[in-house]
Structures are given as C-alpha cells and as structure tokens.
Amino acid sequence: MSGANPPAYNSRQGFGRGGNNKNNPPKSPAQAPQAPQAGAMSNSPSLTNSLTMDNLAANDPDAPKYFFQEKYAPLNVRGNFLTLCACPKNVELGEWLAHQIVEQYRLLHGMLQVIQETNSVTGLPICNESTCPTMSAGRLTYTWLVDGRAAKISAPKFINRVEKWIVSKIHDPVMFPTEKVNGIPETASMRDANGTSATPSSATPTDSTSPAGTTGASADEWIGQSSGFPQTFYKDCQGIMKQMFRCYAHLYHAHWLNPFWHLNKHDILNMCFVHFVTVAKYYQLVSDKEMEPMQPLIDLFIKQQRVPPEALSGGHWAQQPAAN
C-alpha cells in the first residue's frame, strides 16, 4: 500500500496474534452456569422439537432475556480489550481501522457459522425462514433496501447479504487498497453468485456525525489518506460496523438459547461482542442509538469494566484530538 508506514503490516492479514488468529473461535469452557433448559445438543427428534420451540420463544419480544442478566453473561477472558483496540503509535490510523474491520468480521463470521449449521434431523439451519422470518432484535425489525424501498426479509437472507456486502467491501481495491486478501473465511455469501443488487438499509450512515479530528481541517485531509484509502473510508467503516452490530443483536435476541446456550458457546459470543463494542465505542463507529437493542448487556459490561472507561465517549478521539 502506497504511503503505509510499517511495511510488515497488512491490514487484511492483521498483525498476527498467535494461536487464536484462526477462522474457528476458541473452544468454550467445559462447564456452563445453571439456566433454564440448558443441556448438550443431540440430533434426537424430541430435542430438535424443543430447540425449535426455544427459537420461537426467543423471537417473542416478551420472552425472558437471560443474556441481560449478569449470571448468564460470563466471559472466559480477564481484563479488557483496550490493548487490542488502541492504535499503536507507529501505525497509520487508516491501516489500523482496516485491520480492526477485518478482525471484527472474522469474529462475527465465526459466530454466524454457529447458527448456519444444518440440523441432521430437520435438514435446515438453526436460523431459517420459519424460525426467523424477519431480521429481528426483540421488538425491533431491521429492513433491507431493495429498489430504493425498505423491505422486511428473513434473517438468513439478511445475514447472507450483509456478509456478501462486507466481503465485497474488504475485497474492493478502492476502499481497501491492499494486496489480495488472505485469511478471510470463505462464506456462503462469497459462494453465492445470485448477483443481487440490494444493499443494506443505511449501509453508509447519513445520521451520524464524524468525531472531532476524523476528517482533518479541510476536505483535502482524511483518515487513511497517506495510505491510499479513499475519502469515504471512515464513513464506510461506520456502515460496516453498523451492519455487524445488527447481526450481533439478532444472534442474542433470537439465538442466545438456541444454539449458544445449549452448545455452551454463550461465553464466546460475549467475548466477541465485548471486543466489538470496545472497538465501536473507542473509534465512534456505531452510534449509541443504534446500540439500544443491546444496551442492558453493554451497560453490564461497562459496569464490569469489560468495556474499559477509555473506550467510552470515543476514547481515541479524546486522547488524540488532532489525529488525522
């Protein structure tokens, strides 16, 4: 990438973090806290019917939200994610944000794979047209912009299109002017060649304001300029993170019990989500209003300082008001 300072860094590949930098998320702990109907997964018809009911109950906006309770919100890590979030002094901010976007998509993709597993009895994925006819998060339903109009589509279709859209952004040599992507998992979206032209509703937000210092003193200065990123790069990052948040909101509201609790992967989901929220708040990539469907859990993680104080109110911009 032209102008990039540290030559050893590739925004798509990341800096390398050792054993956890894989397509598959880390394994969950052997024990899970007590909660209603928790147990090991199997392919028995009775359990399949039970899990289907779990899904239908989860999509009921009045169903209990166990994931908002502290006893059901464990993390299998200590400390917080600030060290993985803050931009190193010797790294250009555009390069670092590109790395963060790719990393957050990698983590989200791992969680989405959990709900895309096909049940051997029903022949359907856990998140399907019947269990999730809309992309919901409690009482909120997300829409997709089709032919200039907001349309309600099923959660699996919505998620498929979001993944396809994000991957297209990462592979776009204009938005991400780097060499060929390595390490990005092949998704169903990437294999989908249906040629849909729909884009996420509000994919590039127009209702958010850029924090102080993000665009520089004039229109000729912007984040990532010295590394070859386009002037719209920061706004595009906001759009990508916004759509990723909506996927997390659906995972919790519709699938926390089935499959994450039943598979004992709820703590991994929490770990990925806390990491996401820390990055989103530190760089003001997702608005507080957009985060409202998950606010009780975010407040819990803030109370526990899992989301560190430095990340609140746009920690990066507060600490580096003159950053490009």
Q: What are the average pLDDT values for consecutive 10-residue runs of the chain, which has 324 residues? A: 37 38 38 38 40 52 85 82 90 94 97 93 92 95 92 97 96 77 46 43 37 45 90 95 98 95 94 96 95 96 90 64 43
Structure tokens at 272: 């990925």
Binding residues: 127, 132, 250, 255
Question: Cis omega before residue 259 (within 30°)?
Answer: yes
CB 270 within 8 A of CB 75: yes
Q: For position 122, what pLDDT does the model report? A: 86
Cα distance between residue 176 and residue 87, in whole Å: 18
Binding residues for Zn(2+): 127, 132, 250, 255
What's the CA angle centered on 159, arms 280 and 135, to 5 degrees?
90
Q: For position 24, what pLDDT does the model report? A: 41
Domains (ranges, CATH) in the chain?
79-319 (1.20.140.30)
Q: Which is nearest to 131 in space by CA: 261, 263, 253? A: 253
CB 127 within 8 A of CB 255: yes
Hunting for tokens 């009921």 — which residue is that?
60
Q: For position 77, what pLDDT does the model report? A: 78
* Whole-structure pTM value: 0.74
**Cross-strand bridge partners of residue 118:** 125
Q: For position 5, what pLDDT does the model report? A: 34
Q: For position 177, what pLDDT does the model report? A: 84
Amino acid at 300: L
Q: For position 79, what pLDDT does the model report? A: 75
